[in-house]
């Protein structure tokens, strides 16, 4: 039902899935990944300004539902996101999301957006922004292990932001690899469909793991990892859900988003609670070291942090302003006399 008393100041821009797809095509996926990576990097530079808390997770036997809030003091944001590895077999997405920005001054929402696509874009942009700082110089080849919903986004972001030209695909389900290879055709990447995880890692300087399983899996074993690579570990992002053998963690320098959250959810849940890790925002602002030698193994233990979603939402807010890529949503009751909420309801009687 439409609001009989709409007030322009209370209409909330809403970016639907359809609008998000139109926006990506309008900007171009690689320029958008670059723009998102820039927005995320800018916010990592002003990291200390933000409210930070590990996300609020509600676990069940099948998956997890999470809320991810943050604020920079002027704008507040949160994302609702789920993770249900069994969904894919039922024809549903493993990860779906939506998010909101609000004005801290009056608490009114200023943007509501789909975030299933935006999460894939921002996760890929974050991975590539981090790899730009940590991967070996001149890295050209990435192993992409797990060829599900996130995988093409990861591949294209590494191309656009780090300059990789070859992606080597591996998934236990050959149909997933065929799908990713077909989707990446014509993007300028050389795509190699591989017969095992080991095969995918041949000559790769960047190794991305992006699998979904609700358990401590061992996608990478210690003997698979040679000196000098950068590991971009995306799929271990929940308590009891990891991808790497613990021995790899002991040989790597580990970089994280927000340690308080990553110690609960990331690969490092396998390590002692005081195992040293480096916070990425400090590498980005130059107060901590990133890669220091050619033989060093760098590991981005990615779990996804609220500030990345905030950056993505503020990018979308700016990119959609003055365009046709949103609807005005009648989300907030906003009577002309703010104390007469009941009167507004009464006047709407049929």
Active site residues: 237
Minimum separation from the CB atom of position 334 to ligand NAD (A): 35
Minimum separation from the CB atom of position 301 to ligand NAD (A): 9
Binding residues for ligand NAD, rule: CB under 6 A, are: 83, 88, 94-95, 119, 123, 145-150, 170-173, 176, 210-213, 217, 219, 234-235, 237, 302-304
Contact assessment for residue 134 and residue 165, using Cβ atoms and an 8 Å cutoff: no
Minimum separation from the CB atom of position 196 to ligand NAD (A): 9
Indicate the residue whose CB is closest to ligand NAD.
148
- Across the chain, the runs of DSSP E, i.e. the strands, are 12-15, 56-59, 64-71, 75-83, 97-103, 109-114, 141-145, 166-170, 190-193, 206-209, 216-220, 230-233, 242-244, 252-256, 278-279, 297-301, 327-329
Query: Which pair of structure tokens corresponds to residue 340?
Result: 């007469």
If the CB atoms of residues 233 and 283 are measured against ligand NAD, the closer one turns out to be: 233
Measured in degrees and rounded to the nearest 5, phi and psi for residue 336 equal -60, -45
If the CB atoms of residues 103 and 173 are measured against ligand NAD, the closer one turns out to be: 173
Minimum separation from the CB atom of position 242 to ligand NAD (A): 10
CA distance 115 to 14: 11
- With tokens 């996101």, the residue in question is 81
Quick one: DSSP state of residue 136? Answer: P
If the CB atoms of residues 237 and 334 are measured against ligand NAD, the closer one turns out to be: 237
DSSP H or E stretch at residue 110: strand 109-114
If the CB atoms of residues 152 and 334 are measured against ligand NAD, the closer one turns out to be: 152
């Amino acid at each position: 039902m439409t609001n009989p008393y709409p007030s322009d100041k209370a209409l909330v821009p809403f970016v639907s899935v359809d609008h998000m797809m139109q926006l990506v095509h309008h900007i171009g996926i690689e320029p958008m990944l670059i723009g998102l990576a820039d927005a995320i990097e800018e916010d990592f530079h002003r990291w200390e300004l933000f409210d930070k808390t590990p996300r609020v997770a509600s676990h069940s036997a099948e998956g997890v539902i999470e809320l991810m809030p943050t604020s920079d003091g002027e704008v507040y944001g949160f994302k609702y996101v789920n993770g249900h590895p069994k969904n894919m077999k039922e024809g549903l997405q493993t990860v779906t999301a939506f998010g909101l920005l609000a004005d801290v001054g009056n608490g009114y929402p200023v943007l509501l957006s789909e975030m299933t696509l935006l999460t894939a874009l921002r996760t890929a942009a974050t991975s590539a922004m981090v790899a730009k700082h940590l991967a070996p110089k001149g890295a050209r080849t990435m192993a992409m292990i797990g060829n599900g919903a996130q995988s093409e986004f990861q591949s294209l972001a590494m191309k656009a932001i780090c300059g990789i030209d070859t992606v080597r695909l591996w998934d236990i389900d050959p149909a997933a690899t065929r799908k990713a290879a077909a989707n990446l055709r014509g993007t300028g990447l050389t795509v190699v469909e591989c017969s095992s995880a080991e095969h995918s890692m041949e000559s790769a300087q960047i190794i991305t793991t992006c699998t979904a399983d609700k358990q401590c899996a061992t996608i990478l074993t210690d003997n698979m990892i040679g000196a000098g690579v950068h590991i971009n570990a995306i799929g271990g992002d929940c308590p009891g859900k990891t991808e790497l053998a613990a021995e790899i963690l002991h040989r790597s320098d580990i970089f994280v988003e927000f340690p308080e959250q990553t110690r609960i959810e990331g690969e490092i849940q396998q390590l002692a609670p005081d195992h040293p890790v480096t916070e990425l925002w400090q590498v980005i602002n130059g107060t901590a070291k990133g890669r220091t030698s050619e033989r060093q193994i760098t590991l981005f233990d990615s779990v996804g942090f609220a500030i990345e979603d905030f950056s993505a939402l503020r990018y979308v807010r700016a990119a959609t302003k003055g365009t046709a890529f949103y609807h005005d949503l009648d989300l907030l009751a906003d009577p002309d006399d703010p104390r007469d909420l009941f009167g507004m309801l009464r006047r709407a009687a049929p």
